[in-house]
Chain A
Amino acid sequence: MLVNVERRAQGSRTMAYMSPVLAMVLTLFTGALLFWIQEQNPLQGLYTFFILPVADLYGLSELGVKAAPILLCAAGLAVCFRANVWNIGAEGQLLMGALFGSWVALQFLESTSGWAMPLVLLSGALGGMCWAAIPAILKNHFNTNEILTTIMLNYVALNLLLFGVHGPLKDPDGFNFPESALFSEATTLPVLIEGYRLHLGALLALLAVVAVWVVLSRTFIGFQIRVLGMDSSAAHYAGFREKKLVLLVLLFCGAMAGLAGVSEVTGPIGQLVPTVSPGYGYSAIIVAFLGRLHPVGIVLASLLMALVYMGSEMGQIQMGLPLALGGLFQGVLLFYLLACDFLIMYRIRWQGFASNVATNEA
């Protein structure tokens, strides 16, 4: 073998930052290769995929619209993952937020009250929190693995939402079609720029990220969360109340995901529909990892993720490329990232052709 792999004494900070960049570069190369295989001009392909969608103000606004729910979920997930709580349930928490929020919004169809909107947002966040409280309680009191319960609850949430939209929340004047009535002006999220779809939810998402940053790096609670994540027995000896922390991070994530859900239905959609989320809760998991569980990182990662979604639509409109390319890019990106992360803990040394050093399997 020509290379030697050594374990670093300490994780490399440089590589921790460089690894996502490296992963992105590799993904771009893979993308170019895929375009080439499709017999498309690779540069034209990359341009259509990654630049054309955001070439104007409208595109940028749409990028914000698409990134906002992902960012909200990822902010919540980052806190969970920091605490070593493997919440896979942001999708379900988002759907419950949408369901709760819609139900409240539908009570305000005739209203013009200024209180309606905050109430709707609050109930959305509450819906997500309730849903996230279930795995937290089960984990704390019955020691139940949160990965599995949150996955199961995603499916339950989806079916509850479908039940709502096909049943009690269906528009009575909608000819039995599975949609709620359009929400009133009072319960529709205001847009940030007139004529564009970018809405208050995007601002809330940024606020959430700032909050995460402050809490994690500047408060004692944040310190406890980080210690819990790194070494649960240390947290235990330090006298931190582990159960309280688990509940706290899950409730926070539930609130964020719920807010994402209610922002979608009261923002760009404007009514409750069966397809509120094309998997934002799952994309947010990629985003959280891609962004290193760091607030700035998740902002960049969620924008990138949103761009890939929009790029695959643009690729199909402009070049007739299959829509599946988008999903493929996301998977490839995450793979490269996980592989590149290896370099944080390990160093690869080029040995030249002469030496004959056995490689280390691990």
Chain B
Amino acid sequence: MTRLSPARLLNGAATLLLSAAVSTAAFAADPLKIGFVYVGPVGDAGWTFEHDAGRKEMEEALAGKVETSYVESVSEGADSQRVIRQLAQQGHDLIFTTSFGYMNPTLKVARAFPKTSFMHATGYKRSKNVGTYSARFYEGRYLTGVIAGQMTKTNTIGYVAAFPIPEVVQGINAFTLGLHSVNPQAKVKVIWINSWYDPAKEREAAEALIAQGADIINQHTDSPAPVQAAQEKGVYAFGYDSDMTAFGPDAHLTGSVVHWGGFYTQTARAVMDGSWKADDTWGGMAVDMVKMAPYNKAIPQTVIDQVEAIKAKIIDGSFHPFQGPIKDQQGELKVADGTTMSDGEILSFNWYVEGVQGELPK
């Protein structure tokens, strides 16, 4: 059960050669060295898995021009700063730190390595050489809501959520708005499990929701356990982040999936030709950063057509999931008809829209 992939062997051999040939000597046509810091194992089937898929896609697209390495399961405590720094120290020109908890460590290291470019995922602090990036998952979430509203029979949707941070609240709200656009009676029940990745807890939460009448499970956690639970209980589910069809062929309706490969390739190119800037990228369906997983055959074609039509409008900018009128849980009008929430407002969501049950933990 050893891990003997040809890629690994080649990689090892290459490192060996490189370090043998005096590691400090600079080659004329050095490939761009790119480092990745992952919060989970590369095979978690969720967050880290997709970042690693993006890394591989970039490697393929820029074959010969880039060289990548990564460190997985890096704790967000004191260790992350060392790992990021080690990557910088070892001559990586571009470093992606792919979890929110790396925000301050990334900034600290970046100060000491002004020539290295850093990209931090999902954070809100930037500096001269630290840019940020994230995906507009909410666009996909809205579409899953439109589907859920027409697939539910109990009018109760369960939502397994990680932490009550704006990014997750934003997803719940987008989903609920999509749901209500086609089915104003439906309700969303949220369970917070306080963890991004804990298969057993995710499953327990999904089961608790199903027990309380939910016949569709949506999730904002990283493991496929909620989809598995739905498959077993004979209800529907939406995956998140990666295509989770394999974990519940009947249950998995579709999901809001991310696609980092294009963005990573683009960023690497920008660093190579010197046009890279430390700014914020928040990409959605228009730039192919967010996609829909394959549709389940249980979804009627009319619904798929409707969803595809809204998707096209989101892409061409004629529709925005967070355009008014939007009411909060108390029924108070928060976003007036004809106005659209700004990115800043969307990024700091701390209230639920109408249709979500329960109180948002503060």
Question: A residues engaging B (CB < 8 A)?
Answer: 37-41, 44, 58, 62, 65-66, 162, 166, 175-179, 182, 195, 197, 264, 267-271, 273-278, 309-310, 313-314, 316-320, 322-323
Contacts and interface: CB of A to CB of B under 8 A. Distances in A.
A33 to B, nearest CB: 12
A314 B101 contact: no
Contacts of B4: 38-39
A172 B84 CA distance: 27
10 nearest A-B residue pairs (beta carbon): A268-B78, A278-B75, A275-B77, A275-B76, A320-B11, A176-B165, A316-B71, A275-B75, A317-B69, A40-B12
A269 B102 CA distance: 11
Contact of A276 (B2, B8, B77, B347): B77
Interface in B43-97: 69-79, 81-83, 85-87, 89-90
A322 to B, nearest CB: 7
Contacts of A310: 82
B348 interface: yes
B15 A269 contact: no
Contacts of B12: 38-41, 319-320
A176 B166 contact: yes
23 contacts: A38-B8, A39-B2, A41-B12, A65-B78, A66-B79, A162-B194, A176-B164, A179-B101, A268-B78, A273-B76, A274-B76, A274-B101, A278-B75, A309-B79, A313-B74, A313-B86, A314-B86, A317-B87, A318-B90, A320-B11, A320-B15, A322-B3, A323-B73
A193 to B, nearest CB: 14
A316 B72 contact: yes
A58 B70 CA distance: 20
A177 B4 CA distance: 40
Contacts of B149: none
Interface residues of B, number: 44
Contacts of A270: 104
A38 B69 contact: no
A316 B166 contact: no
B35 to A, nearest CB: 7
Contacts of A264: 77-78
A65 B82 contact: yes
B69 A313 contact: no
Contacts of B112: 195
Interface of B: 2-4, 8-9, 11-12, 15-16, 19, 35, 69-79, 81-83, 85-87, 89-90, 100-101, 104, 112, 124, 163-166, 169, 194, 347-348, 350
A177 B85 CA distance: 24
Contacts of B77: 264, 269, 273, 275-278
Contacts of B89: 58
B124 A175 contact: yes
B288 to A, nearest CB: 27
Contacts of B8: 38, 320
B348 A175 contact: yes
Given A178-B163, A323-B72, A38 B78 contact: no
A316 B11 contact: no
Contacts of A177: 100, 163, 165
Contacts of A197: 81-82
B6 to A, nearest CB: 10
Identify which of A65, A197, A276, A318 gathers the most chain B CB atoms within 10 Å of its CB. Answer: A318
A320 B69 contact: yes
A314 B8 CA distance: 15
Identify which of B2, B4, B79, B165 gathers the most chain A CB atoms within 10 Å of its CB. Answer: B79
A340 B77 CA distance: 35
B163 to A, nearest CB: 6
B2 A37 contact: yes
A205 to B, nearest CB: 14
A166 B360 CA distance: 13
Given A38-B4, A179-B101, 18 more contacts: A39-B4, A41-B12, A44-B16, A58-B85, A65-B82, A175-B348, A177-B165, A178-B163, A264-B77, A267-B78, A273-B77, A274-B101, A309-B79, A313-B74, A316-B71, A317-B35, A317-B90, A320-B15
A106 B83 CA distance: 27
Nearest to B71: A316
A267 B108 CA distance: 13
B25 to A, nearest CB: 16
Contacts of B85: 58
B224 to A, nearest CB: 21
Contacts of B83: 313, 317
Contacts of B347: 175
Contacts of B104: 179, 182, 270-271
Contacts of B75: 275, 278
B101 A317 contact: no
B295 to A, nearest CB: 33
A182 B73 CA distance: 24
A37 B82 CA distance: 28
Given A176-B350, A270-B104, A317-B35, A166 B163 contact: yes
Contacts of B87: 317
A288 B165 CA distance: 40
A239 B348 CA distance: 65
Contacts of A65: 78, 82
A268 B124 CA distance: 21
Given A274-B76, A317-B71, A320-B11, A268 B101 contact: no
Identify which of A176, A197, A319, A323 gathers the most chain B CB atoms within 10 Å of its CB. Answer: A176
B21 to A, nearest CB: 14
A121 B76 CA distance: 22
A210 B75 CA distance: 31
A313 B11 contact: no
